[in-house]
Amino acid sequence: MIVTTKQLFEVAYGKFAVGAYNINNMEQTLGLFRGNIQSKAPFIVQISKGARKYAEVKMLENMIRAAEELFPEAIFAVHLDHGDEETCYDCIDSGFYSSVMIDASHHPFKENAAITKRVVERAHAKGISVEAELGQLGGVEEDVKVDEKNANLTDPNEAKEFVRQSGCDSLAVAIGTSHGAYKFTGSQGLHFNRIAEIQKLLPQYPLVMHGSSSVPAEEVRRINEAGGGIPTTAKGVDENEFAKAIPLGVTKVNIDTDGRLVWTRVHREFFRDYPEAFDFRKPGTTYMTEYANFIAHKNEKLLSAGKLEEVRKSL
């Protein structure tokens, strides 16, 4: 059942984080739904601009509709990840999305707030909620590349003023994470003090943590042993830190890179072990099972595992 993102956040705030997982193809979609059913968790399916281009919007949306039919017990929201203004309007007008993200964080504050406000007005008129971003995460966001040094943390006073001016329903905050596989070096990690300061000024307000993959060293090792060349400097968020961020208002956690690593590891190992093989359904089947297990594991860490019935009762 597709629900609004707001409905999920109302149950989750302070208690668990809703996993927001990107999809690009059928295998990811089936693995995602199976993993959430396996762990009895509510979740968010996200579609990026890149995914819309890669797999065709109609294909992605109809895959989600098919999954909804195949898994009638699933409770989830459908979200546009890192949208520009035009893509947000497209999704709002389609009537299919629960929420959209307008990512205008590369603009100065005033312009970011003004763009976000325009999107909020169009979205709210249709009952769709809006996630915005303030501060810049490191890594690559669609076409915008930000390096670690220039990734500035979200200023709490600005966050409060931004929400007031724009009317956005949730806010992606820069709290130390970045997109992709190279988030941290040495002892870097999440900035809990910063999250706490933001929560103080925005109590009961859902914060979104992008760039939340954990880039497991074991996964990177196996990929490299099977012919990959991922630098071992790749390092992500310690998944045990999610539980500390949740009481501070982190209500949505975005994970994409880790799922790509599962895909890469399964396929590299398969074709290394069976060099004569070419039936892609074999590694595809393994991938779907492994991805489902991965999702179930993440949901345990996000404390969303087992919360499906609580959400169902709240609807």
**Cα–Cα distance for residue pair 33/38, rounded to 1 Å:** 8
Instruction: Tell me how crowded residue 149 is: count the other CB atoms within 10 A of its CB.
Output: 7
Instruction: Report 32-51 residues binding ligand G3H (CB under 6 A).
Output: 48, 50-51
Binder among 210, 252, 301, 307 for Zn ion (CB under 5 A): 210
Residues annotated catalytic, as ranges: 81
Q: Are 22 and 78 in contact (CB under 8 A)?
A: no
CA distances from residue 61 to 33, 47, 65, 152, 254 in whole angstroms, order as listed: 14, 9, 6, 34, 19
Distance CA 211, CA 183 (A): 8
Q: x/- binding map, residues 246-285, to ligand 13P, per CB under 6 A?
A: --------xxxxx---------------------------
Nearer to Zn ion, 34 or 252 (CB): 252
129 binds, among ligand 13P, ligand G3H, Zn ion, none (CB under 5 to 8 A by kind): none
Structure tokens at 100: 């959209």
Q: Which is nearer to ligand G3H, 51 or 302 (CB)?
A: 51
Q: Among 112, 212, 251, 299, which residue sits at the site for ligand 13P (rule: CB under 6 A)?
A: 212
| Binds ligand G3H by CB under 6 A, chosen from 68, 142, 161, 300 | 142
Name the DSSP class of 246.
G
Query: Binder to ligand 13P among 210, 252, 301, 307 (CB under 6 A)?
Result: 210
User: End-to-end distance of the chain based on CA atoms, in angstroms?
Assistant: 11
Q: Angle CA(254)–CA(256)–CA(260) in degrees, nearest 5?
A: 165
CB of 277 to ligand 13P, least distance (A): 29
* Alpha helix positions (H), 126-203: 156-166, 192-201
**Scanning residues 153 to 182, which ones bind ligand 13P (CB under 6 A)?**
179-180
Binding site for ligand G3H (CB under 6 A): 22, 48, 50-51, 81-82, 142, 179, 256
